[in-house]
Amino acid sequence: MDAIEIIRAKRDRGELTTAQIDWVISAYTRGEVADEQMSALAMAILLNGMNRREIADWTQAMIRSGERMDWSMLDRPTADKHSTGGVGDKITLPLAPLVAACGAYVPQLSGRGLGHTGGTLDKLESIPGWRASLSNDEMLHVLRTAGAVVCAAGSGLAPADKKLYALRDVTGTVESIPLIASSIMSKKIAEGTGALVLDVKVGSGAFMKTEETARELAETMVALGTDAGVRTVALLTAMDRPLGRAVGNALEVSESVEVLAGGGPSDVVELTVRLAREMLEAAGISGKDPAEALADGSAMDVWRRMVAAQGGDPDALLPRAAETMTVEAAEPGVLTRLDAYAVGLAAWRLGAGRARKEDPVAPGAGVVLHAKPGDLVRAGQPLMTLHADDTGRFARALEALEGAYAVGPSTAPQLPLVIDRVTP
């Protein structure tokens, strides 16, 4: 086989064979297919798509490029969750210990933020001493100690995906649904979990801007998981406004701890409990309800054990930004709109995110919201507080927020928090 033949086949809207897919993924991982050739193939896939069999073969080929984790030695079922990313989406932080407190093991491999969306590992690294990089043996130790572990994927897990994702990021092919779905699911299937719940975000702050494209992605990923023997379900959830009131690394950790303590914003609590119930159902676990585990402190106990087992101090003070600025309402009324993308971009410009994967983040930077869409506000009332380590960042953040919010006489329609549920 050769790469040009495969590129031409997909360019001309042909269907790639299983053998062609296996060869091109393996050869690209070994360096025998050049980046230029894989770029051309990725663009052909973006433009002409793949059918279900092709996507499944592509996913399996990426899984076979590295190791596959095995948790069969554990005495309880495993369950995991993946979010497609959004603004203020800190759900993994309270969710993993909550599900563990209800009887499942939660091996959660997470990533870092890029652009306007936050990364779970960046958030947790704002806890003094906490480590994201663990060996497989260390992951198993934390699981047995705490019931849940949140860490970075090792270099041996789906290396073809790591190489291909970096290429897609610089060639304008990130948006391809077959490539998004296979990228996510190759890592999640290789992770070895028995049950998987997908949180597919919809709206301005998500990668999927419309319900139609989000549903297509969710259905594709649910099919991939099901075909691979992983019990998989997806929720379509709103990302037209930020989730919760904190956007930024240490700020979101603090809000997550509030949720584990029985408080926190109602939307974060609602989605955390809903996803926990889905994970437990997929894992075949019944008994303790997640709402009870939040109320009785057992989820908080797991959180503290999990953080400590990964070198963190659950009692340590979290980093705080050196400077703050308050944005106030110019007139009284109802906050009718608060654009998630604009808030995420503002947080990024304040130092909470990165433009390149190697860039550092400012752990205390971000935005704290004092009002959400539907809330009554007074003239001069604080709408949000910007946090940064230097005042020079405020001007660019304010530019991002121009036109991002509105106050009017009545509430504007917005997406329901949980839009739909997608099953096999």
Catalytic center residues: 82, 161, 168, 183, 187
Q: CA 318, 321, 326, 327 torsion: positive or negative?
A: negative
Q: What are phi and psi of 5, to 5 degrees?
A: -60, -40
Cβ atoms of residues 16 and 6 within 8 Å: yes
Q: Is 261 helix (H, G, I), strand (E, B) or coil?
A: coil
How many C-beta atoms surround the C-beta of residue 214 within 10 A? Answer: 26
Give me 273's structure tokens.
């409990």
Cβ atoms of residues 363 and 250 within 8 Å: yes
Through-space distance between the first and last CA atoms of the chain, rounded to whole angstroms: 35
Rounded Cα distance between 253 and 115, Å, is 19
How many C-beta atoms surround the C-beta of residue 395 within 10 A? Answer: 10
* Nearest of 309, 226, 304, 237 to residue 273 by alpha carbon: 237
Please give the DSSP secondary-structure letter assigned to residue 315: T
Q: What are phi and psi of 384, to 5 degrees?
A: -160, 155
* Nearest of 209, 241, 238 to residue 339 by alpha carbon: 241
DSSP codes joined into one string, 211-234: HHHHHHHHHHHHHHHHHTT-EEEE
Cβ atoms of residues 69 and 157 within 8 Å: yes
Q: Is 38 helix (H, G, I), strand (E, B) or coil?
A: helix
How many C-beta atoms surround the C-beta of residue 392 within 10 A? Answer: 9
Rounded Cα distance between 265 and 219, Å, is 30
Rounded Cα distance between 295 and 274, Å, is 15
Rounded Cα distance between 155 and 162, Å, is 9
Rounded Cα distance between 253 and 246, Å, is 9
